[in-house]
Amino acid sequence: MSNDPNRPFSAQEKDGLYRAIFERRDVRSQFLPNPIPDDVLARLIEAAHHAPSVGFMQPWDFMVIDSIDVRQRVLEIFDQENAKAAEHYQGDRNKTYRSLKLQGILESPLNLCITCDRSRGGTHVLGRNSIVETDLFSTCLAVQNLWLAARAEGIGVGWVSILDQDILAATLNLPEHVYPLAYLCLGYVSEFLPHPELQAKGWGSRLPLKELVHGNTWGQPLANQALSKALEKPTKS
């Protein structure tokens, strides 16, 4: 790997980056029992640690969870919250929801919780005075870094979002000022699906990009007609 940050990306490097972006999937049911080698896991965590952060606060910590006992307790939190979530849907939507596999807590060989220390950097972090949530935003960037690096390594990642964060924090013995931002399941997989699972199951589809791009102010068309036309081209799923 070159140490020159001004070296242009080769066509192959650019293709690899975009491939990781477009082929990234939220994995829930394709996990294999194969363990993740320590050096690979270390690379993923290092990639996450190199995410940008407002004021260079680096609010993240990484909890490597291989204990079956801890994971079983987290699964119980999921089961309780998932039952509550199902009540929001009726009829066929409820049936579809209940058929979805929304976690791989025990099936994956490893869980990883990425937390956000909301006190890191002190009371006045450069760039954070106006938008205090930038610590959470920064931690999300660490999650994305890890996710893309994992895809490049052939490792699946599933974000378990149906959890009571207060109960999860207590289960993981987190300090009061540390928020459990992302609970992730990691492991090698039998396959990466060609389309997002929720799309394949008919839960939703990717929105047309052109409808989401505005010019200068909300709801106004783009003045750049060439860009507008380019956005009409089919995008990857």
Which pLDDT tens digit goes with each residue over 132-172?
Answer: 999 999 999 999 999 999 999 999 999 999 999 999 999 99
pTM across the whole model = 0.94
Pairing of strands 178-188, 155-159: antiparallel
Least confident of 4-8, 149-153, 164-168, 232-236: 232-236
Contact of 183 with 168, CB cutoff 8 Å: yes
The C-alpha atoms of residue 96 and residue 209 are separated, in whole angstroms, by: 26
If one compares 127 and 14, the residue with the highest pLDDT of the two is 14
Instruction: Indicate the burial class of 184 (C-beta count within 10 angstroms; 0-12, 13-18, 19 or more).
Output: buried
Q: What end-to-end distance do the CA atoms of the chain give, in Å?
A: 30
Contacts of 15 (CB under 8 A, 6+ apart): none
Q: How far apart are CA 207 and CA 191, in angstroms?
A: 25
User: Between helices 11-23 and 134-152, what is the axis angle to 10°?
Assistant: 110
Residue 62 contacts residue 126 (beta carbons within 8 Å): no
Report all structural domains of the chain as residue ranges with CATH numbers, in order of start: 21-204 (3.40.109.10), 206-237 (no CATH)
Q: Which pLDDT tens digit goes with each residue over 77-127? A: 999 999 999 999 999 999 989 989 899 999 999 999 999 999 999 888 998
